[in-house]
Structure 1
Amino acid sequence: MVVLEDCDEDFATVKEASTQWSQPVRITRFTQLQPALEAIEQESFEPPVLFLLDLSVPGGSGLELLQAIKKHARLRVIPTVILSTTDNPAEIRSCYKAHANAFHMKEMETPRMVNLVSSIFQYWLGRVRLVDPARNLLRG
């Protein structure tokens, strides 16, 4: 999984939720937009099972990474989920227009945030049938 998240507390909830998941999941974290954009363009970049993106990060917006992912032939089939504090309808609409698979508002309380991320894992990694090679990138 690739996570674009600059907030250590929010990333900690992703890590905590991943430990509750039935299979170990590799997590690659980016805290800034530019390194994430550069990484997905590398020939050696291994497509993740899921992209989890915050909208507000240093150097730009998670929306820019979403757009780059969905333009990339190898990556556009990978589910891309937005986690953000915004409830601005225009921003949410922009994410869906850029082909986000889901948009979730972050919870302010840690236990609720862990539950939210766990439900995202349950749905995208457990219930949905993913296109290869994404499904094969789960370790375990």
Structure 2
Amino acid sequence: MSDELILVVEDSDEDVEAIERAVGRSHPDVRLEFVRRGDAVLPRLADPAVPLPDLLLLDLNMPGESGLTILIGVRAVPAYRAITVVVFTSSTDSAEADRCYAAGADSYVYKPINFALFQTVLRGTIDYWRSRTTSALYEGSGEAAGNVSQIVVPPPGVESAQA
């Protein structure tokens, strides 16, 4: 991530606090910005006074405008296509994950309830996308960047659902 900014779309106070704690512990150099309502995302991204994030961490199940609607709106704007969108949700519905991937999500990650696992999943997600961004810089220089664009982290006790 070039500017180390993650825009988090999350309506739950508890999840906002957990994300702040988890990312603060694992990546204290990353700036977090929170948007609490889905209908505020596109105006935030369109604001020329603030930088675009490289990573958008998107809750799916919110009151009002859903995460899927936000995802579709973000992917419809060519200037936002370079933003990595990770759906970070408590939903384990595989059909919902498929809809998110079809709409342009880069990853669909299950949001664990246990804080230690929550922290581990967030750390892994950020590290993965940082490495993908770094790898993309080496494309064309002879180094392989890989071709993985979709990762689903299943809930505990479920076999891997990697796409």
The two structures have a TM-score, normalised by structure 2, of 0.73
1:114 corresponds to: 119
Deviation of 1:17 after TM superposition, in Å, equals 2.5
Letter of the structure 1 residue corresponding to residue 22 of structure 2: A
Shift of 1:36: 1.6
Matched, 1:30 2:35: yes
Determine whether 1:128 maps to 2:122.
no
| Regions of 4+ moved over 3 Å | none
Q: Is the 8 A contact 1:31 1:58 kept in 2?
A: no
Shift of 1:22: 4.6
Distance in structure 2 (CA, Å) of the matches to 1:69 and 1:45: 16
Instruction: Output the CA distance in 2 between the equivalents of 1:73 and 1:23.
Output: 31
Deviations 1:71-127 (A, max 9, x none): 1222111110001111112211110001100001110111111111111111112x1
**Higher RCO (CA-CA < 8 Å; seq separation 6+):** 1
Structure (1 or 2) with the larger CA radius of gyration: 2
Q: Which residue in 1 is equivalent to 2:19?
A: 14
Extract unaligned runs of 5+ from structure 2.
Answer: 1-5, 138-163
- SS in structure 2 opposite 1:28? strand
C-alpha separation in 2, matches of 1:22 and 1:7: 21
Q: CA RMSD in A?
A: 1.8
Alignment partner, residue 159 of structure 2: none
Gaps of 5+ in 1: 133-140
Provide the rounded CA distance (Å) in 1 between the counterparts of 2:19 and 2:27.
14
Q: Which moved more, 1:92-101 or 1:18-27?
A: 18-27
Identity, in percent, stands at 26
Residue in structure 1 matched with residue 89 of structure 2 by the alignment: 84
CA distance in 2, matches of 1:23, 1:108: 22
Give SS of 1:56's match. Answer: coil
* Cα pair 1:13 1:117 within 8 Å, conserved: no
Q: Aligned partners of 2:63 and 2:27: how far apart in 1?
A: 32
Task: Count residues with an aligned counterpart.
Answer: 131
